[in-house]
Amino acid sequence: MAHPDDLELWAGGTLALHARHAPVIGAVKTHDEVRNAEAAASAQALGIELELRDILDATAVDELIRRYRPEVLITHPVDDVHPDHRAVAAAVLAGLPKAHIHTGCPRRLYTCDSYNSLTLSGPVNAPVIIDITTTFDQKMRALAEHRSQPIDDHFGPMAQNLAALWGGRIGASHAEAFTPVPILGRLPGAAHL
């Protein structure tokens, strides 16, 4: 992800849910000392490991995939409204093929939600919706660790609105949405992460 609060905002409930059953590693670009410390505290609140990287380009993505061999990889939409998000998504798409051929990992690739579920191409079309009702409070506690950011006035309310919107689509109180992306021409065979 591009920013220290992106893991929590776009996939925090899902990451916390998966961390109950398997190791979860979040890779985020480094920022200043304050934001990096917030990211570390937030990762701890989610129950995940954090990898802070000075550079998140195709080479870094390739190296991370080869080292961690993730079953599932989540990144930003390639047409996200934020240019930093688009850059990280492009790096994932550029770094993934060789690593996947070498390791078979990741087996599944997804993009997450975006600001108010809008991309440059229009509304997010996310056929995979994960019920995060049991981890929503954990997600919000993790997001609140980013005290230097406008959490109370901006990101927090947006996270609540998006979780309620996606949750309503599947009959849950809170959910997060993901879009499967083909890896070398193959889509995930499972309807869940």
Q: Is 156 domain-assigned? A: yes
d(CA 27, CA 172): 29
Q: Is 174 domain-assigned? A: yes
Task: Please answer whether residues 19 and 49 qualify as being in contact, where contact means their C-beta atoms are separated by less than 8 angstroms.
Answer: no
Q: How many domains does the chain have?
A: 1
pLDDT recorded at residue 104: 95
pLDDT recorded at residue 192: 60
pLDDT recorded at residue 24: 97
What are the 10-residue block averages of pLDDT along the chain, 193 residues in total?
Answer: 96 97 96 96 98 96 98 97 98 97 96 97 95 98 96 95 97 97 83 62
| Interacting residues of 45 by C-beta distance below 8 A, sequence separation 6+ | 138, 141, 142, 145
DSSP string, 45-107: HHT-EEEEES--SHHHHHHHHHHH--SEEEE--TTBSSHHHHHHHHHHHHHHHHHHHHH---S
Q: Is 104 domain-assigned? A: yes
The whole domain housing 152 covers: 6-179
pLDDT recorded at residue 191: 54
d(CA 179, CA 5): 20
Q: Is 192 domain-assigned? A: no
Task: Please answer whether residues 6 and 76 qualify as being in contact, where contact means their C-beta atoms are separated by less than 8 angstroms.
Answer: yes
Whichever domain contains 137, its CATH number is 3.40.50.10320
Q: Is 186 domain-assigned? A: no
pLDDT recorded at residue 179: 95
Q: Is 92 domain-assigned? A: yes
Q: Is 42 domain-assigned? A: yes
- Confidence (pTM): 0.94
pLDDT recorded at residue 58: 98
Query: For 113, phi and psi rounded to 5 degrees?
Result: -75, 175
pLDDT recorded at residue 69: 97
pLDDT recorded at residue 190: 63
Q: Is 190 domain-assigned? A: no
pLDDT recorded at residue 186: 85
